[in-house]
Structure 1
């Protein structure tokens, strides 16, 4: 047992327990609990996570019919439009979504049902008029066409600081000290305002998307620059989405999806941003001092993104890296790239991966392969796609299972030390000189079962030595 002395936002000393504290020091008795580095969620859409609390919950649905039943039940209580639902996963549904079926259920009231991966929405005719879009024949709008109108559904700027503050404090109660924000809005302007309004329980690294890249460059902000007076908000990377998602069958792969005509232009998924355009964006970011975080899920997308990083001599992060060719795994380390991965997605998508990536799942969510190749891992949630809770991510990374199911490809699990380091900015223990971003937990994580780790009780969270949550 030890005493930990925190001063001026850093860990100043670690001594055997029972010593006399410095005069005037505030003391907290952790009563033999465990102290760990504070945790980060390295991939969130924070506004969407906040908004999710206000949307019709579709996460339990297993068919189009079940979604429609929830819509019919919710409509009489909807005061104004549109009705927005979130969380369906249609990859293995026995029935297909159709525009006609949603029109029958909703009538002239606009209804927008958003998939769990955020890459498509099921909209009725009234919603198409409301959003000024034209969906495909099945009533779905996918990828870039959908992202372009996402803010119309509910503008994150309309949420209050109280909304953000509540969710940020909830994250702090789970040991979170920081997040990497990939929301598609004006993060550079909005997050400093939130801190000024009292949303100060998290550090936030904010990304910029291509449509706001020129403005960021003109403003002269570089990755790592503080954006607020307290230093809680810092400039992060350029974010570009190169392909789609597995559930939407738009992840860009080398092999066609089963059941799709191999001559169809999107039989292997979608290249949502042409690679020549990606190269231009990344070069502009590089020359302006901005790092890059590039979304790539399919193995062909990952190959192309690796090639682009290599051609530019640029380091950064590949977001998701869900399906990889074996020959591409060591390239991450060779190029100095990190892999930002979401282990909960492996649990959510294991069945759809078995269906659409049959014969290839041994190299899907390949955390151990990446770790053993020396690739830095950054664990995250992609909230709201998975809960903003690093303990869930770590439990899935270590055990590759959830609920009553057997582990899925356990050969790709990582140990807890690696998972903790990937959730705490490379820190797997507390050392003198570290930032005083710390958590106190009720159990020894190295002796926890899978579910004990997933539901780890957090007794306190400190951000720069300041308690953002305490039950001590």
Structure 2
């Protein structure tokens, strides 16, 4: 059999024009599946024939280009159903603060890494988690180590930023008492800081998309703040992305989207269907690490104080109003809800509006709310890596309630549809990390955290593929080829799964072909 070698045109990893057909031979059809042959043409799977000759239409004979995959495993293409693409792409070029155990440790990193320039450019860092720190972030710590250069450090959950006095002065907040800003103020401050030129960020994003394709990703839902629709239309006019993109809409741009007639799932740009309109992003609360997730019970040590139960980002009445307006014009809502009270509010709104949509995160749930996801057709967009990253902070701040935190097995048992994401840059844009965390409920040497909420490998793969369980005739040719059968892989191998090749819309976006 002749190997297929593609010409590299348009997308990284080669291109198959609509008229080109390709046969994938000697490939295992899904985890634990049989050997099979597939034919791809026009961006679709046109034939599937199992080794014993059953299960598909007769394969065309002669003239087809054939690629022998030597018994590797073919899976439906993977999605990251929650990313902030510009933030993720930028974070890959920022000071890495992940794993720091104290505010003092962060200041030490800033001292070591921040003195290389005196031109006044902002030193950006990303990834600190202060929920368990013994000391508090304060501008004095940063002023002591880097007084003259502006410093802006973003928390891992994107809900807080820590600035020194020089940076606070840049954004007109020189009198801020601590330099630690959260939620709305955080977003306002970061928006006011000098940004990298759009062309630079677009280049970073193109690189990030190629890196995602190298991990088997064929599509993302981009919840980047701002005007993601316009940004992606600009990018796709210059070059089609290496992954499919559903670009979210924010409330400030809802009226403009309605006026344009945009609907969730509608094609955008010139990418031939690679770029589509995503959901309307709405917020009910904050986050666990900032202790702003809206909960029924107060946070330890905060009872009786303002914000002791978290914060309400959007009132229930306004949430219903926005959801109703969006749904009436074909735009599905995606509601950020982390605390148990926030999830109840979000589900109440879906019940009132009677529309389909998503709840993003769904981290802490009341038992009576579990069946409501399936009842109202609400997808739970969850991030399994958060369960392992945040287990310690959850044990502290949600003490006595963690049996219903990140309750993925309970959601599935209640009939909910799960879709995995990373919330990148909150965790890396790598679906195999999500799969491994969902299956193991641990990412270190400790035993599984609430092992009753573990998922099976097949269920985790389905959630990572936006509900695709099988590869069938007529499916989009969004496929990933891996070297190890996930059913036979241990947790470490799942995390580092060797991805041989990735195909999106019938075009190779990663691999040796």
1:108 lines up with 2:142 in the alignment: no
Structure 2 residue 179 is matched with structure 1 residue 139? yes
Report Cα offsets for 1:359-378 as digits up to 9, x if no partner: 00000000000000000001
Within-5 A mapping of 1:213-292: 213-229=254-270, 230-260=272-302, 262-292=303-333
Q: Does 1:26 align with 2:62?
A: no
Q: Is the contact between residue 42 and residue 379 of structure 1 (CA under 8 Å) also seen in structure 2?
A: yes
Encode CA deviations 1:339-397: one digit per residue, 9 max, x unaligned. Answer: 00000001110000000000000000000000000000010000000010101001101
Question: How many residues are matched?
Answer: 471
Residues of 1 paired with 2:178 and 2:189: CA distance? 18
The gaps in structure 1 that reach 5 residues or longer are none
After superposition, residues 28-427 of structure 1 pair within 5 angstroms as 28-78=67-117, 79-133=119-173, 137-153=177-193, 154=195, 157-229=198-270, 230-260=272-302, 262-427=303-468
Q: Secondary structure at the match of 2:317?
A: helix
Residue of structure 1 equivalent to 2:471: 430
Match in the other structure for 1:439: 480
User: 1:277 & 1:140 partners in 2: Cα distance?
Assistant: 28
Q: In structure 2, how many angstroms separate the alpha carbons of the residues matched to 1:303 and 1:358?
A: 20
Secondary structure at the aligned position of 1:403 is classed as: coil
CA deviation map 1:4-23 (0-9, x unaligned): 11111111111245998643
Q: Tell me the alpha carbon deviations over residues 408-457 of structure 1, each in whole angstroms, 9 at most, x when there is no partner.
A: 11101111111111111211221222111001100111111011111111
SS in 2 for 1:185: coil
> Once the 2 structures are TM-superposed, how far is the Cα of residue 199 of structure 1 from its aligned partner?
4.2
Structure 2 Cα separation of the partners of residues 285 and 94 of structure 1: 44
The 3-state SS of whatever aligns with 2:66 is: coil
Answer yes or no: is the 8 Å Cα contact 1:9–1:436 preserved in 2: yes
CA contact (8 A) 1:48 1:156 kept: no
TM-score, structure 1 as length reference: 0.96
Structure 1 CA distance, aligned partners of 2:85 and 2:138? 30
- 1:289-344, CA deviations, whole angstroms, 9 ceiling, x for partnerless residues? 10000000000100111111111112210000000011111111111111000000
**CA deviation string 1:18-55 (max 9, x = no partner):** 99864332221111100000000000000001001111
- The alignment partner of 2:68 has SS state of coil
Distance 1:462 1:174 in 2: 11
User: Is contact 2:45-2:474 (8 Å) kept?
Assistant: yes
Q: Matched residue of 1:65: which SS? A: helix
Query: Aligned pair in 2 of structure 1 residues 342, 125: CA closer, same or farther (>3 Å)?
Result: same
In structure 2, how many angstroms separate the alpha carbons of the residues matched to 1:444 and 1:232? 28
Over 3 Å counting, the alpha-carbon distance change for 1:157 and 1:273 in structure 2 is farther
Q: Which segment is superposed worse, 213-222 or 154-163? A: 154-163
C-alpha deviation, 1:155, in angstroms: 5.4
Secondary structure (helix, strand or coil) at the match of 1:183 reads: coil
Paired with 1:365 and 1:172, the residues of 2 have a C-alpha distance of: 27
CA distance in 2, matches of 1:441, 1:152: 43
Distance in 2 (alpha carbons) for counterparts of 1:288 and 1:155 = 35
Call closer, same or farther: CA 1:130–1:350 in 2, change over 3 Å: same
- Tell whether the 8 Å contact from 2:115 to 2:146 is kept in structure 1 after alignment: no
What is the alpha-carbon distance in structure 2 between the residues aligned to residue 116 and residue 360 of structure 1? 23
Q: What TM-score, normalized by structure 2, do the two folds share?
A: 0.89
Residue 449 of structure 1 corresponds to which residue in structure 2? Answer: 490
For residues 60 and 429 of structure 2, the distance between their equivalents in structure 1, rounded to whole angstroms, comes to 36
Distance (Å, rounded) in 1 between the aligned partners of 2:391 and 2:90: 27
In the alignment, the residues of structure 2 paired with residue 416 and residue 103 of structure 1 have an alpha-carbon distance, to the nearest angstrom, of 48
RMSD of equivalent CA atoms:
1.7
Report the counterpart of residue 49 of structure 2 in structure 1.
15
Structure 2, gaps ≥5 residues long: 1-34, 54-58
Following TM superposition, by how much is the alpha carbon of 1:160 offset from its aligned partner in structure 2, in angstroms?
Answer: 4.3
